[in-house]
Amino acid sequence: MIETKRDIQGDGASPGVSEGPPGPPTIERAPRLVAEGETYGSITDRIGGIPIHRPPVLWYLGLLLSAGLVLTLLTTISVLFLKGIGIWGVEIPVAWGAAIVNFVWWIGIGHAGTLISAILYLLHQSWRNSVNRLAEAMTLFAVACAAMFPILHLGRPWTFYWILPYPNQMGLWPQWRSPLVWDAFAVLTYGIISLVFWYTGLIPDLASMRDRARRRSTQRIYGLLALGWRGSALHWHRYKSVYLLLAGLATPLVVSVHSIVSLDFAVAIVPGWHSTFFPPYFVDGAIYSGFAMVLTLIIPLRKLYGLEAYITRRHLDYMAKLLLVTGLIVVYCYVIEWFFAWYGNDLYEKRVVTDWATGVYAPIYWLVVGCAVVVPQTMWFRWVRSRLLLVFFLAVLANVGMWFERFIIVITGLHRNHIASMWGVYQQTLGDYLVDFGMIGFFVFLLILFVRLFPSASMFEIKELIHRRFRRGEASESRAAVKPPSRPVGVGHAEPEHYLGSIYGLAAEFPTAEDLLHAARDVYAAGYRKMDAYTPFPVEGLSEALDLRDHRIPLIVLLGALAGGCGAFIMMSYSAVFDYPLNVGGRPLFSWPAFIPITFEMMVLFGGLAGLAGMLVLNRLPKLYHPIFSVDGFERASRDRFFLAVEAADPAFDVRETASFLERLAPLRVEIVRTWPEGGTS
Amino acid sequence: MFWRGLEEAAGTAAFREYLEREFPRGASEWGSGLDRRQFLKLMGASMALAGLTGCVREPEEEILPYVHPTAALDPGRPLYFATAMPFGGYGRGVLVVSHMGRPTKVEGNPDHPASLGTTDPFMQASVLTLYDPERSQVIRNGEAVVTWDRFVSFMGGALRSMRARRGAGLRILTGNITSPSLLEQLGRIQAAYPEARVHAYEPAYSEEPGTPARYQFDRADVILSLDSDFVYGIPASIPYARAYMSRRLVREDRAAVNRLYVAESSPSNTGVIADHRFVVRPSQMRLFARAVANSVGGNGGVTGGLDARLQRAAEIVGRDLAAHRGSSLVVAGGRQVAEVHALARSMNEALGNVGRTVTYPSTPQGLTPSMDSLRQLVAEMAAGHVEQLVILGRNPVYDAPADLEFLKHLKRVPLRIHMGLYEDETSEHCQWHIPESHYLESWGDVRAFDGTASIIQPLIAPLYDSHTAAELCTVFLGDPARTAYEIVRAYWQERLGEESFEAAWQEALRKGVLPEQVSSTGSAETAVPVDSTAAPRDSTTRSQRGQAEAPRNGTAQEEGPGQGLEIQFKPDPTVWDGSFSSNPWLQELPKPITTLTWTNAALIAPATAEEYDVQNGDIVELAFRGRSVEAPVLVLPGQAPDTVTVHLGYGRERGGRLAAGLGFNAYALRTTDALWFGTGLQMRKTGGHIEMPVTQQHHTMEGGDQVRVGTLEEFEENPAFAQEVIGLPLVNETLYPEYSYPGYKWGMAIDLNTCIGCNACVVACQAENNIPVVGIEGVRRQREMHWIRVDAYYEGDLDEPDLYVEPVPCMHCEKAPCEVVCPVGATVHDSEGLNLMVYNRCIGTRYCSNNCPYKVRRFNFFDYTAGKPETYRMVRNPEVTVRSRGVMEKCTYCIQRIAAHKILAEEEDRRVRDGELETACQQACPTEAIVFGDLNDETSRVNRLKQSPLNYAMLGDLNTQPRTTYLARVTNPNPQLDRRKEVGSTE
């Protein structure tokens, strides 16, 4: 924190930057993670407004451009499927080319999302809250792009599913010792868990969108996607629990996925690939390029959509620093590669590193060194970090450098293989270039659709930031809440009980989380037990105050993970040892070390899925209708209002008594909640 | 049925079928640009192909399978038929595999002296020419397609007047002919038309036809080759290579090996196997020969101008030869000038080798083709004396020396008749073209280099409307109804005797060779005078000429350096003189050492490349004697500096769509006074550049030790020198379990001592395993599909390197790295230790190829078999799957052969015997360098080889435990010349 304050000194002086507090320069004060003056409502209005309002012209331009590239990609893929991968530059000895380079690159980019979402979450880096949504979306799309390449690159792409175990007439199994099978499981798991993570994080915001939607159709779509989320305290409790567990699961997953990708290379005996330090090297490279991509996307986006209040200079400064740190690890890896070649004194390795420096690909190698080693060092300087255009440019360079780094890794080991007579040179063809750029188009296309359709920053998590600020006493929460019209809502003029349906309970509306928290404590102290609170974000201490706790989620996740892991290990052992024993490369039938990656992946996958399923089932979601929805103005429960409901099922419940009790807690109003509202469904 | 242009053919069934089919085959391939000629060709083609649609036609005459007569065709079991392939006029005995009447594969005939059961690339690939859809298919008169009868009736008229004039103006131009029956036919034509003349020439036959010397390489301890590539391309190359290699077998610690010195200007296969290879410019070869002769003790002559190093080398070689009187041998290359031949002979005589290691037969056999004969013909054509010219199987418009201007003079001949396998450059300028039958579809006979006669029996009825040369002769003899079968049978009936003829004939057909007593050259064969009345001047006719005569041919060589570069012409190692231009297997076959495919190049030394500032693929203009061509440069270490070697056989304009447009035509530079060598070549960089289609781009081992070589001395000191490499894991030093192979355990050993790098194994494998051809672009993009390749390496000095070759098939590693990384288990081990490839399961990740340190796996980047001519399907081996696009493939150790022999053995309730089962590469290898067998059989040949101390595993340090291992090469250098020693002494 202290560092940050120093770093941002003189921020206001930077040209072309309009945001940030225009305070006097003598005051050393970091830009906030959320700008001053933002309220719960303004967050929802601003972020939630993007999908609802007409997009800027640039958006259409981007859509058109990226759609053009997508068409190119589709055409190229059609030709590829019709004619064969011969349209690419791959050959013998370099049988893996741009497709694998792209695969590794995209997967790498996909790492920052989960890293920001999960690891920084676990580390309580609250600044992640503003950028995680976009990073997760980026992850998802990058993984989608990445996952296409291994399929496209197959000689017979239509047989891609043979890599997975599925019941078939021939009784065939995949060959579990192959890193490609591990890879398939890892990427699949990563894709699914990223989707789960992303979607889980999106549910409350989708509810918020549902409540803000102006058209019935949009409302319905968001409503369906939100699964009937109503911000219940108990739901939030379970939600936080599963989110934490998902983050815990996703953290080793991030590390494992790129480690497994690196094993595609490290397991092979190809010189330049066969190296024990590939897993950390790849993971770090992935994070490096992922951060670079997040920066590349966020800097223009925040400008375009005016998100400067939520994605502030401080966020960007943190990320630039992270880029520098990961970049330094990359440098270390490069040095180590040379050191290994020299110290190991292996003829083949030495030939490869010499080839980097002096061979046909030397220009590319030095470009990589320039982009990924030299240029990022400028981020040591605050002056550079504070110039967003420069940071953007550096991030782009880093990504270009990382693409070519993967090119060097994939190609050079193969083209300088063990036997000099089979040395060859790989060159990309038109087919390769069309797919390279087409896939970038596809990624941008998905991203452009995403910012149009979904809230591109996590609204409820940003609200949490503000809430936390209030709790630290930095401001009064009431300032954040728009003053309500002082319309006292009594129950005195409540309808007769027999009017329509039965009474579900009583709901009291509060303007701030603090008010709600106080009220909740009072209600609990008064002996009420069947009650719930509805809030736009998880309010710390609320479920404790209401004694709404559920500890089953971790158990469910544990059971799911155990089932996945054990099941996978047993399946592999059974198929390799008993069902279809084959002499594969003279390896033992029970090659248990080779079974570990998939065991791990399946553990994470089933744990994660069980967590999501458990959370939904325990929360009785999806449930598109709930009596609480009938409360007048309840749509603000996903925006900036806080509701407390005491249910009729509570033995201590009595409409009049309870209502008057609630009135004493100084709510904005109190309302009877009926199981069937007047005038049909909402 | 109103097709006016098609003569009586319109009424035939074939024509009806043509109409019914609506579109002839291949019609769509040409699109809209179909001109009238092509249309007619297509029409003709479709009619000719009509016969193919049902099933394969067997010849009507009785043909007999090799040795074991089979009463009936046993469906599914292939039969072998013995026949002989004429190449450069000489026969090479072959056994041809026939699958249900469809010849698919050529093997060597063990009973034939020119084959000894093995083959060279030409024999292997010849079966594909049979099915070449580009072969000429119809008799053509101008642009009209006509019938044989029409031709016969036309000739009847033309010959009536000719007969009256006793044949004056009738000329027949052929290549080398050794066929006894055809020679008899020609003799009868000569008798019927006394004024007619037969001319013969061979554009590329570099060994002197007629009475070549016969060598006994197995008896020679020290051999000097003066530019003789005696292991490749010449009629006796296979037996010579075999005999030579019988003295290079290094077994256990016993090594009584010979020593070979080779002096040559461009690396050849013989240069590869040499113990010492001297780089001698063509102009210096005679000086070098003289210097050796001087040293041997004879009177060689002045050697002024010879490089001091070569002078010293020559002296040492001469001393070595002299030290082995009676067991040494000097061999002069066929392209060499007469003086070199004379010197070689005088040296052999002086060394007492004649009768021991070399004999000089006195009686010539067959025609004695020569360029003089061709020159004589051209002179007569120019003078207007030639009225009817019949060209039998030759293509002089393309391959005659450029200074003869054959085409210009050809046009003055009123009637020109061409017979050939293809409609080529010559047929284009002849009124008549008669398709010639391929040897696999025709009856005939042929003699081997040593005079052994064989009957050529067809395995299939002619695919097209083709005829043999003998049948064409019958037209001139007024007996056009006589078939080739009748001619051959009648000829041999006379020689084999009437009473026991049938049995003898059947025996001859079955064995593929005629008995020796009747084989000897008959009188009728020498009766044909080949018209080369002028004194023999060119270098192809030089037999038995003394030294006195010699310098006459040498003027070109005397000019010496300083007048530009020297040019050297060589027949192409794969397409030869252009006869195989349309054969995709040979086009894609990497040329020995250079690994160039699909094209030829100007081969130059690295020093010359530096001097002219050119690199591989740079286009240069070669100007020689007023003519010039543009050629790409290929830098070849070991090439003599200031010398450009060009291969003949490329730059075709016609002769098939495949052939035309590849490479440059070296014949366009060739003149009668510089048939093989010449000085005064000008080379100029044009600035153009193409990518050379080579299959190997790096020819140094870059510190690797995949080829291990030691001298005899080193071997005697430490027989296991090849196994003592630092970093090699100990035997069975592995964490993995031992798998046991209780039944068979197949393995292979490749002896680098005997491999000559001829590539016969590559074509044999291609033919056996239905390996597709990828084309010039495919090779450029490194996608060639050969399952076995022959790597070539240079080591040492760039100008005078040691050359090594190494065949590399799949190693069938015990701990195969490819298998472990396959995600679907498409490549696994079987119970006999074979590394299998399951095509149907392969999804094409290509990971196995990446992880194969030997890079022997091949990938179908496209559907290489689709879109290929229909007829090529007939050559496919039905025992081997045709691979689809997107799957990996590789050497299987010929698993189909293993299966067949296991079934056979099981039927007879025994194990497969050693030697009974051969892989295709092993079977083809002329020097038996590849040995395959059961490692569980203690006494198998492969086991014995693997027990040799020379046995080593390539890249053994990776511990893949390959089943295919190599025997290190042991060279036998002269201690006085050992370069390594020289280097040591200077230190």
Out of B793, B823, B885, the one facing A180 most closely (by C-beta) is B823
Per-chain mean pLDDT for chain A: 86
- Candidates A96, A423, A587; nearest CB to B846: A96
* Amino acid, single-letter form, for residue A58: L
Give B315-360 as a 3 state SS string.
HHHHHHHHCCCCCEEEEECCCCCHHHHHHHHHHHHHCCCECCCEEC
Helices (H), A153-277: 179-212, 216-226, 233-266
Give the tens place of pLDDT for each residue, B872-905.
888 999 999 999 999 999 999 999 999 999 999 9
A289 pLDDT more than 60: yes
pLDDT, tens digit, 9 for 90 and up, residues A334-391: 999 999 989 988 888 999 999 999 999 999 999 999 988 888 899 999 998 889 999 9
Look at residue B650 and give its three-state secondary structure.
coil
pLDDT at B378: 93
> B615 and chain A: CB distance < 8 Å anywhere?
no
Residue B747's SS3 state is strand
Per-residue model confidence (pLDDT) at position A559? 96
Is pLDDT at B780 greater than 70 in this prediction? yes
Identity of residue B792:
A
- DSSP secondary structure, A129-181, as one string: HHHHHHHHHHHHHHHHHHHHHHHHTSSSGGGGGGGS----TT-----TT-HHH
Could you give the ipTM of this predicted complex?
Answer: 0.89
The Cα B8–Cα B166 span in angstroms is: 34
Q: Residue B645: pLDDT band by 50, 70, 90 thresholds?
A: very high
Contacts of B809 in chain A (CB under 8 A): none
DSSP state of B527: G
Of B247, B222, B255, B259, nearest to B950 (Cα)? B255
pLDDT higher than threshold 50 for residue B25:
no
CA-based nearest residue in chain A for residue B806: A421
> Contacts of residue B859 in chain A, CB cutoff 8 Å?
92, 95, 155
Is B852 or A491 the better-scoring residue by pLDDT?
Answer: B852
Contact A180 B704 (CB under 8 A): no
| Cβ-contact A524, A547 below 8 angstroms | yes
Task: Render pLDDT for B392-437 as a digit per residue (tens, 0 to 9).
Answer: 999 999 999 999 999 999 999 999 999 999 999 999 999 999 999 9
A163–B841 CB contact, under 8 Å: no
- In this structure, the dihedral spanned by the alpha carbons of residues B130, B132, B133 and B139, taken in order and rounded to 10 degrees, is -50
CB B729 within 8 A of CB B908: no
Contacts of B792 in chain A (CB under 8 A): 421
Search chain B and give the residue with CA nearest A176.
Answer: B823
How far CA B871 is from CA of A222, A364, B129, B667, B786, in Å, comes to: 64, 48, 10, 31, 21
Residue B879 in tokens: 């025992």
* CA–CA separation, B436 and B48 (whole Å): 14
The minimum CA-CA distance between A105 and chain B, rounded to whole Å, is 18
* B363 inside 8 A of chain A by CB: no
Distance (Å, whole) CA B407 – CA B402: 10
- If 0-12 CB within 10 Å is exposed, 13-18 middle and 19+ buried, where does residue A218 land? middle
For residue A177, the chain B residue with the least C-alpha distance is B820
Strand ranges in A358-511 using DSSP code E only, listed in sequence order: 503-510
Q: Which residue's entry shows tokens 């080379």?
A: B683
Q: B826-837, pLDDT tens digit by residue?
A: 999 999 999 999
Structure tokens at A130: 């503003």
Nearest to A42 by CA among A473, A467, A640: A640
Nearest CB to B845 within list A180, A351, A582 = A180
- A:424-483 residues touching chain B, CB 8 A cutoff: 424-425
**Per-residue pLDDT averaged across B841-858, rounded?**
94
Q: Span B353-376, mean pLDDT? A: 81
Phi, psi dihedral angles at B829 (to 5 degrees): -90, 150
A617 touches chain B (CB under 8 A): no
Is residue B104 a contact partner of residue B127, using CB atoms and an 8 Å limit? Answer: yes
Question: Does residue A312 surpass a pLDDT of 90?
Answer: no
Q: Which of B636, B620, B625 is nearest to B681 (CA)?
A: B625
Least confident of A96-100, A457-461, B567-571, B586-590: A457-461
Which uninterrupted H or E stretch holds B183? helix B180-192
Q: Cα–Cα–Cα angle for A105, A108, A111, nearest 5°?
A: 155
**Whole-angstrom distance, CA of residue A586 vs CA of residue B705:** 25
For tokens 């520098």, what's the residue?
Answer: A324
Residues of chain B above pLDDT 90, percent: 56
Contact B855 A184 (CB under 8 A): no
How many interface pairs between A and B have CB atoms less than 8 angstroms apart? 197
* Contact assignment for A584 to B819 by CB distance below 8 Å: yes
Residue B76 to residues A166, B70, B73, B870, B881, Cα–Cα distance (Å) = 38, 13, 9, 22, 15
Q: Which of residues 371-410 of A touch B (CB under 8 A)?
A: none
Q: What is the mean pLDDT of chain B?
A: 84
* pLDDT tens by residue, A554-571: 999 999 999 999 999 999
Proportion of chain B above pLDDT 70, given as a percent: 84
Contact in structure between B765 and B788 (CB atoms under 8 Å): yes
Cβ atoms B679, B283 nearer than 8 A: yes
Per the listing, tokens 């009668």 go with: B672
Amino acid identity of residue B150, one-letter, is R
Residue B92 pLDDT level (bands cut at 50, 70, 90): very high
Containing H/E element for B92? strand B90-99
CA B66-B68-B70 angle, 5° bins: 100
Residue numbers of A between 154 and 173 with CB closer than 8 Å to B: 154-157, 159-160, 162-163, 172-173
CA angle at A275 for the pair A270 and A278, rounded to the nearest 5°: 115
Tell me which chain B residues have a C-beta less than 8 angstroms from the C-beta of A92: 782-783, 849, 855, 857-859
DSSP B525: G
Joined together, the tokens standing for residue B127 give: 């079966």
- A55 vs B630, residue with greater confidence: B630
* A157 chain-B contacts, CB cut-off 8 A: 886
Q: Is B377 on the interface with A (CB under 8 A)?
A: no
When CB atoms are compared, the residue of B696, B859, B955 closest to A155 is B859
CA distance B679 to B567: 6
| pLDDT, greater one: A496 or B983 | A496
Give CA separation, B123 vs B87, B180, B592, B752, B790, in Å: 9, 21, 16, 23, 18
- The pLDDT of residue B539 is 37
Percent of chain A scoring above 90 in pLDDT: 50
Give me the pLDDT at residue B725, please.
75
pLDDT at B209: 47
Closest chain B residue to A584, measured at CA? B828
pLDDT at B366 over 70: no
User: In this structure, how many other beta carbons lie within 10 angstroms of the beta carbon of residue B138?
Assistant: 23
List the single best residue of A83, A92, A274, A423 to mutate versus B (max B Cβ within 10 A): A92
Contact at 8 Å (CB) between B451 and B513? no
pLDDT one-digit tens code per residue, B941-966: 999 999 988 999 999 888 899 999 99
B822 touches chain A (CB under 8 A): yes
Whether the Cβ atoms of residue A115 and residue A142 lie closer than 8 Å to each other = no
Q: Considering only CB atoms, which chain A residues are within 8 Å of B791?
A: 419, 421
Q: Tell me which chain B residue has its CA closest to the CA of residue A420.
A: B701
Query: Is there a contact between A154 and B814 if contact means CB atoms under 8 Å apart?
Result: no
Dump pLDDT digits (tens) for A595-636: 999 999 999 999 999 999 999 999 998 988 888 888 888 888
Could you give the CA distance from residue A285 to residue A399 in angstroms, rounded to a whole number? 10
Instruction: Determine the pLDDT at residue B107.
Output: 93
Give the torsion through C-alpha atoms of B348, B354, B359, B364, to 10 deg: 80
User: At A90, is the pLDDT very low, low, confident or very high (cuts 50, 70, 90)?
Assistant: very high
Q: Sheet harboring B432-435: ordered strands across? A: B144-146, B139-141, B432-435, B415-420, B388-392, B170-174, B197-200
**Confidence grade of residue B845 (pLDDT, cut at 50, 70, 90):** very high
Question: Measuring CA to CA, how many Å separate B972 from each of A487, B221, B708?
Answer: 112, 11, 14
Predicted pLDDT at A222: 92
Supply the pLDDT for residue B368: 75
Structure tokens given for B150 = 């029409």
Where helices occur in B32-179 by DSSP H, the ranges are: 36-50, 121-130, 148-164
Q: Is the pLDDT of residue A37 over 80?
A: no
Residue A171 above 60 pLDDT? yes
Mutation test of the interface with chain A: which of B843, B857, B887, B957, choosing the one with the most A Cβ atoms within 10 A?
Answer: B843
- On whether any CB of chain A is under 8 Å from the CB of B696, the answer is yes
Helices (H) and strands (E) in chain B, counts: 30, 34
pLDDT beyond 60 at B547? no
CA atoms within 13 A on the CB side of A421: 23
Write out the H or E segment, with its range, that includes residue B923.
helix B920-924
Query: Residue A296 pLDDT > 50, yes or no?
Result: yes
Strands B565-570 and B643-647 come out as parallel
Residue whose pair of structure tokens reads 């940071």 in the numeric block: A391
Tell me what pLDDT residue B731 has.
62
Separation in Å, CA of A346 to nearest CA in chain B: 10
What average pLDDT score do residues A651-672 get?
87
d(CA B606, CA B798): 7
In this prediction, residue B23 has a pLDDT band, given cuts at 50, 70 and 90, of very low
Which helix (H) or strand (E) covers residue A383, if one does? helix A382-385
Element (H, E) at B646: strand B643-647
Per-residue pLDDT tens digits for B657-703:
888 889 999 999 999 888 899 999 999 999 999 999 999 988 888 88
Q: How far is CA B411 from the centre of its chain?
A: 33
Token pair recorded at residue A601: 């992946």
Say whether pLDDT at A104 is over 70.
yes
Q: How confident is the model at residue B36 (pLDDT cuts 50, 70, 90)?
A: low
User: Could you tell me if A27 lies within 8 Å of chain B, comparing CB atoms?
Assistant: no
Residues of B in contact with A597 (CB under 8 A): none
- Give per-residue pLDDT as tens, B482-519: 889 999 999 988 888 878 888 888 888 888 898 876 65
B791, B820, B859 member nearest A177 (Cβ): B820
CB contact under 8 A, B842 and A180: no
pLDDT in the model for residue B60: 66
Alpha carbons within 13 A on the beta-carbon side of B390 = 21
How many C-beta atoms lie closer than 10 Å to residue A477's C-beta? 18
